[in-house]
Amino acid sequence: MKTTISPSLHDGVLQGTFGDVSRDLVQKTSTIGPLYKRVLGLSIALVGIGTLGFLLIAFSGSNDRSQWGYLAAIVAYILTTAQAAPLVSIACRAVRANWGKPLARVSELYAVAGLGVLLAYVPLVAALPSLYPNPEAPGEGVRNTIWIYWHSHSPHIYDTLALLTLVITGIALLLVSSIPDMAEFGARATGKRASLAARLSKNWRGTQKQWTARRAAISLLSGLYFMGFLTLHYQYSSDFAMSLVPGWKDSIFPVWHALSGLQCACATVMVTMYALRRWGGYSAYFGVSQFWSLGKIMLALSLLWFYFWFMGFFTFWYGRIPAEMDVLTFLFTEQYRIPFFVAFALNFLAPLLILVWNKVRKSAGGPALAASLILVGTLFDRIRIYVASWSIEDSVGHHMDEIPQAVLPTVADAMVMVGGVGLVVMLYMVAAKIIPIVSMWEVKEQLLYVSHRKFLKKTYMLVGKPD
């Protein structure tokens, strides 16, 4: 099946009709090419490797909490990247950014990664120590926490509720947003996947009442997802990292952790857009406008990454409290200085040096390169934070009695790390063949609001607003 869609000559804005968009995206969703099969097969193999690594750790016979440090790091990494990605579509819809319409579904599809996070979270929450080891004497041996000491398992209860809420809200947002596209895919295509899409959207008739209710639901779910994202990062970074290190009390750290998620949300969507444009056949939908606009936001977030990190670091360094200086030594200057310097270079210096140039930022390759470096840097940073935190044997007290050495990854740890990445890719690719990876209804809205007019010797793009 051929399509008449071609990239626009003006920042990648589409030129075509509604029928062109529908036929092209339905065809791309229903077709499974050789490249898709290879990547999906590779991701499934990585999931198998990760499962094997998990079993090796679980049945090693060790009760040492440090064995789960790399699992805690990869869960934090997925929360910072894949689970943060839907925020891009939420932000674009909030400000009615016309350039963000083609990439809205690209970001929302990452909500399915929450299913993998739930599986990996189970052994972590089981290994997380309670607030006090002796329930009969709550005042003895209490470790640092953000919770009121009403129950020894307060972190386990609240963190689980926060994660479940975020995952359910993200999947609900994805389904509600994609109902019109699934209905069209189910009506135009054949096969089991089209039949499943039709069943998921069987009540959709496209009436004005349904469109109004659906837009209200998207707004409500978007607000809940944003608040849930901030809440979960606050709780996870506090309970699974900061509370495990005696002497580590930092009110800026959870904010910086969430801000890193916003930076990685842009980076994750950027890399995915580039892959779809370069190898997926979606070059008509992702032009320079998408990369340029998202790159400017990513540059601003990279600067904020440095600002919030420096504020937290400077407070510890200037205070010179012995317990806090041990934390700086442990996480920054000695045991984990290599992961920190890698993260500092890739999350701040590299994006700044790449994206500060407008000619580089106004391209597809430049922002994608900066985004790739950010994702690598964040992986090193999450290893630094969570592997270090989980290596502390005794989390009770106000200072570390002894600074432990850095925990290097074993073969099983490396298997778990690659398995976590493979799980996200596998879930994403499976969902992308049921729900179109580009939002048809939003692309059609873009066609309605955009026109090109000549003025003097040049042609300019005009973007209208619905209200």
Q: What are the tens digits of pLDDT across the range 216-254?
A: 999 999 999 999 999 999 999 999 999 999 889 899 999
Which residues does residue 349 pair with via DSSP β-bridges, in sequence order? none
pLDDT over 90 (residue 6): no
In a domain, 442, yes or no: yes
Nearest to 26 by CA among 241, 213, 221, 190: 190
pLDDT over 50 (residue 111): yes
Reading the block at residue 332, the tokens are: 């920054």
Name the burial class of residue 53, with classes exposed (0-12), middle (13-18) and buried (19+) by CB atoms within 10 angstroms of its CB: buried
Using CA atoms, how far residue 22 sits from 33, 186, 330, 454, in Å, is: 19, 12, 55, 29
- Which pLDDT band holds residue 329 (cuts at 50, 70, 90)? very high
pLDDT over 60 (residue 100): yes
Which residues does residue 15 pair with via DSSP β-bridges, in sequence order? 6
**How many independent structural domains does the chain possess?**
1
User: Rounded to whole angstroms, how far apart are CA atoms 414 and 420?
Assistant: 10
**What's the pLDDT score for residue 447?**
79
**What's the pLDDT score for residue 140?**
55
In a domain, 38, yes or no: yes
In a domain, 265, yes or no: yes
In a domain, 188, yes or no: yes
Q: Is the dihedral of CA 262, 268, 271, 277 positive or negative?
A: negative
21/327: higher pLDDT: 327
Main-chain dihedrals φ then ψ at residue 200, nearest 5 degrees: -65, -25
In a domain, 401, yes or no: yes
Q: Is 303 left (phi over 0), alpha (psi -120 to 50) or beta?
A: alpha
Interior/surface letters 1-37, b for 16+ CB within 10 angstroms, e for the rest: eebebebbeebbbbbbeeebbbbbbbebbbeeeeeee
Using CA atoms, how far residue 334 sits from 67, 380, 406, in Å, is: 21, 15, 9
In a domain, 174, yes or no: yes
Residues 6+ apart with CB under 8 A from 165: 224, 228
User: Rounded to whole angstroms, how far apart are CA atoms 463 and 110?
Assistant: 29
In a domain, 9, yes or no: no
**What's the pLDDT score for residue 166?**
97
In a domain, 425, yes or no: yes
Instruction: Output the furthest CA–CA distance in the chain (Å, rounded).
Output: 83
pLDDT over 50 (residue 5): no
**What's the pLDDT score for residue 234?**
95
Residue ranges making up the domain that contains 250: 25-463
